[in-house]
Amino acid sequence: MKLPLFVFLLSIISFSSSAQKRGQARIDSLLSVLPSVTLDSSKIKTLIGIASAYADIKPDEGIRYGMQAVDLAEKKTYTKELAEAYNVIGLNYKVKADYKTALDYHTKAFDVAEKAKDKPNMANA
């Protein structure tokens, strides 16, 4: 293997490892505050943040936390947060290369956001 190619590959591996550590630190931080969050909208946002952070590390965990956000958003009828939760679940399925399911969740997010006239979430979907 030529030296420049070896250095390039080593830098990619190093960058990936560093990104995972940063992602895990964010997850750990969000998980530590989750039990103390009392407002439902803040709890949903925290669950969405956890789900988003897990997308690069463990998408199955991301889906699990995203579903918790969906359940709470549906109970409280928080449409903006519901659209965000569907979007983050779609992101996790996309990372898993399950594109059909990802599209289904992004479509759900779009439909919810459209009914609420929530243009930012429509664009994200």
Query: How much is the pLDDT for 85?
Result: 97
Each residue's pLDDT expressed in tens, for the chain with a length of 125 residues: 455 554 444 445 544 444 565 678 889 888 888 888 889 999 999 999 999 999 999 999 999 999 999 999 999 999 999 999 999 999 999 999 999 999 999 999 999 999 999 999 899 88
Query: How much is the pLDDT for 65?
Result: 97
pTM check: above 0.95: no
Query: How much is the pLDDT for 25?
Result: 87
Query: How much is the pLDDT for 121?
Result: 87
Query: How much is the pLDDT for 33?
Result: 86
Query: Could you tell me which of 57, 114, 52 has the C-alpha nearest to residue 85?
Result: 52
Contact yes or no for 46/30 (Cβ under 8 A): yes
Query: Could you tell me which of 70, 76, 79, 88 has the C-alpha nearest to residue 125?
Result: 88
Quote the CA–CA distance of 84 and 16 in Å, as a whole number: 26
